[in-house]
Amino acid sequence: METFNPSIAMPYPYAYTFTNAITSNYIYQNSASNSPAPTSPWMDSRIWSGLPQGLMDRILAFLPPRAFFRARAVCKRWYALLYSNSFLQLCLQVCPRRHWFIFFHHKTPSASSIVYKHSTPNGPSGQTPRAYLLDPDELTWYTIPFPLIPPGYSSVASSGGLVCWASDEPGPKSLILHNPLVGSVAHLPPTLRPRLFPSVGLSITGSSIDLTLAGDDLISPYAVKNLTTESFHVDAGGFYSVWATTSSLPRLCSMESGQMAHCQGRFYCMNHSPFSVLAYDIASNNWWKIQAPMRRFLRSPTLVETQGRVLLVAAVEKSKLNVPRSLRLWALQPCGTQWVEIERMPQQLYAQFGEVEVGRGFHCVGHGEFIVIMIKGVNKGLMFDIERKRWVWMPCCPNDQGEEGTLHAFAYEPRLATPVITLVDQLALPFQSFSG
């Protein structure tokens, strides 16, 4: 495993705050509450003060993010844990994986419009921009600030505890990898080809970073076309490909701008008119089409990754046939070409869903055993637990800044550090690039 960079920038060191929204009545409370902590007989300071330091660090590494940042106010040593390479290494080894989701308010750009004034993530004047974290196990919302992201950038992908931001201006794209939990920021080199709003795929492992931008090539100041893909890759083995790997998209490709699902070394995204699935193999640098199930009757199809599988989530509407409308889930089989239906929303629940959605459309994202379905234009969403086969309405997002637009979600795993990000810093050093 790579060593950590000893100088980790932490922009919110001591005053870092999680704001928690209680799901029962949506009352906001600050993590620095002055309410007295409950006492128990077994919380004997004589016992806890005698614990070995290594065991205490192990206990702290298991704390959920909000509890950990509150605990850092106890003493100077706990406060300095974010600067300790040994503690961050311990967190990577023992900290349980948390399949959370991160939400941003933004307006979806129009693919038919070249001149687009994006609503910057800064929110109303004078207020710090923020994102919203959802813990699906507890159905609890948290708000988290991200003041280091400059205006004119939009969130486009998430992986490995990092959120990728891309510049909104037409032309070569500037990209930022940002850890919203600790506030670290890494700038990537700009892309080589000018684009408008490309589809973006991001995959971060313990030893590599893969980033792919596809489509929306800016072929003139007044037109875009889905023509090419360019990829960014760095790994711990010393291989760098900084936007040097390019490939052509399939003919007659009709991709809408959006994020890609990553699964087992491949990126997947939807193709429209008619619906199909586009697959991109990172290693072979090759694209191909996969036929979608019931492609002529799908509405708002979305690809998600859950538990190492690619799922297609969509509403099915057969207006001229005696088939009830429904929302269904299909899983892509290991052969890579066939789909099998694995779940269907109960009809009574779909009727309630339809009353709220009323044709607005919806956006889906998967993480672990959970799939979140957010209805466009409203602060309402459903969550499906694949393991328990359970559908549940989510509590409303705690929007206290008056943002307008659609809540857009990404799979997010809260991490105190992502060691592979240090490879991006090495791009400033002389190196030999390679072309795929």
pLDDT digits 0-9 by tens, 306-331: 999 999 999 998 766 666 788 999 99
In the chain, pLDDT over 90 holds for what percent of residues?
Answer: 44
Q: Looking at the structure, tell me whether residues 106 and 89 fall in a common domain.
A: no
Q: Looking at the structure, tell me whether residues 75 and 134 fall in a common domain.
A: no
Q: Which residue type sits at 115?
A: V
Give the distance from CA 136 to its chain's centroid.
Answer: 14
Contact 114, 217 (CB under 8 A): no
Name the strand (E) or helix (H) holding 316: strand 309-316
Q: Looking at the structure, tell me whether residues 168 and 85 fall in a common domain.
A: no
Q: Which residue type sits at 328?
A: R
Number of domains in the chain: 2
Rounded alpha-carbon distances, angstroms, from residue 165 to 78, 157, 258, 411: 31, 7, 13, 15
| pTM for the predicted model, two decimal places | 0.83
Q: In the predicted model, is pLDDT for residue 7 greater than 50?
A: no
Q: Looking at the structure, tell me whether residues 56 and 118 fall in a common domain.
A: no
Q: In the predicted model, is pLDDT for residue 30 greater than 60?
A: no
Contact 218, 194 (CB under 8 A): yes
Q: Looking at the structure, tell me whether residues 214 and 314 fall in a common domain.
A: yes
- Residue 217 in domain: yes
Instruction: Identify the pLDDT of residue 286.
Output: 93
Instruction: Identify the pLDDT of residue 9.
Output: 43
- Residue 428 in domain: no
Name the strand (E) or helix (H) holding 47: helix 45-48
Instruction: Identify the pLDDT of residue 193.
Output: 92
> 230 has which bridge partners?
213, 246
Q: Is the peptide bond before 145 cis (omega within 30 degrees of 0)?
A: no
Q: In the predicted model, is pLDDT for residue 155 greater than 50?
A: yes
- Residue 45 in domain: no
Range of the domain at 16: 10-31+51-96
Q: Looking at the structure, tell me whether residues 136 and 232 fall in a common domain.
A: yes
Measure the CA–CA gap between 195 and 214, rounded to whole angstroms: 9
Q: Looking at the structure, tell me whether residues 62 and 104 fall in a common domain.
A: no
Instruction: Identify the pLDDT of residue 400.
Output: 53
Q: Looking at the structure, tell me whether residues 78 and 105 fall in a common domain.
A: no
Measure the CA–CA gap between 272 and 252, rounded to whole angstroms: 10
Q: Looking at the structure, tell me whether residues 115 and 87 fall in a common domain.
A: no
Q: In the predicted model, is pLDDT for residue 49 greater than 70?
A: yes
Q: In the predicted model, is pLDDT for residue 2 greater than 50?
A: no
Q: In the predicted model, is pLDDT for residue 417 greater than 50?
A: yes
Q: Which CATH number do you get for residue 144?
A: 2.120.10.80
Measure the CA–CA gap between 361 and 299, rounded to whole angstroms: 8
Burial 43-80 (b: 16+ CB within 10 A, else e): eeeeeeeeeeeeeebbebbeebbbebbbebeeeeebee
Instruction: Identify the pLDDT of residue 39.
Output: 53
Mean pLDDT lowest among 120-134, 231-245, 343-357: 120-134
For residues 198 and 34, which has the higher predicted lDDT (pLDDT)?
198
Instruction: Identify the pLDDT of residue 14.
Output: 34
Cα angle at 228 between 407 and 172, to 5 degrees? 65
Contact 268, 258 (CB under 8 A): no
Instruction: Identify the pLDDT of residue 319.
Output: 65
Mean pLDDT, to the nearest integer, of 228-252? Answer: 89
- Residue 40 in domain: no
Instruction: Identify the pLDDT of residue 401.
Output: 53
Measure the CA–CA gap between 60 and 58, rounded to whole angstroms: 5
For residues 32 and 394, which has the higher predicted lDDT (pLDDT)?
394
Instruction: Identify the pLDDT of residue 115.
Output: 38
Q: Looking at the structure, tell me whether residues 169 and 259 fall in a common domain.
A: yes
Instruction: Identify the pLDDT of residue 32.
Output: 37
- Residue 202 in domain: yes
Q: Using pLDDT thresholds of 50, 70 and 90, give the confidence band for residue 54.
A: confident
Instruction: Identify the pLDDT of residue 240.
Output: 85
Q: Using pLDDT thresholds of 50, 70 and 90, give the confidence band for residue 68.
A: confident
Q: Looking at the structure, tell me whether residues 69 and 152 fall in a common domain.
A: no
- Residue 435 in domain: no
Sign of the torsion formed by the C-alpha atoms of 169, 101, 242 and 148: positive
Q: In the predicted model, is pLDDT for residue 28 greater than 60?
A: no
Instruction: Identify the pLDDT of residue 129.
Output: 73
- pLDDT tens for 390-415 read 999 999 888 755 555 678 899 999 99
Mean pLDDT, to the nearest integer, of 194-216? Answer: 93
Mean pLDDT, to the nearest integer, of 32-57? Answer: 65
- Residue 426 in domain: no
Question: 3-state DSSP call for residue 272?
Answer: coil
Instruction: Identify the pLDDT of residue 429.
Output: 55
Give the distance from CA 336 to its chain's centroid.
Answer: 24
For residues 408 and 109, which has the higher predicted lDDT (pLDDT)?
408
Q: Looking at the structure, tell me whether residues 88 and 151 fall in a common domain.
A: no
- Residue 152 in domain: yes
Where among 96, 127, 151 does a domain terminate? 96
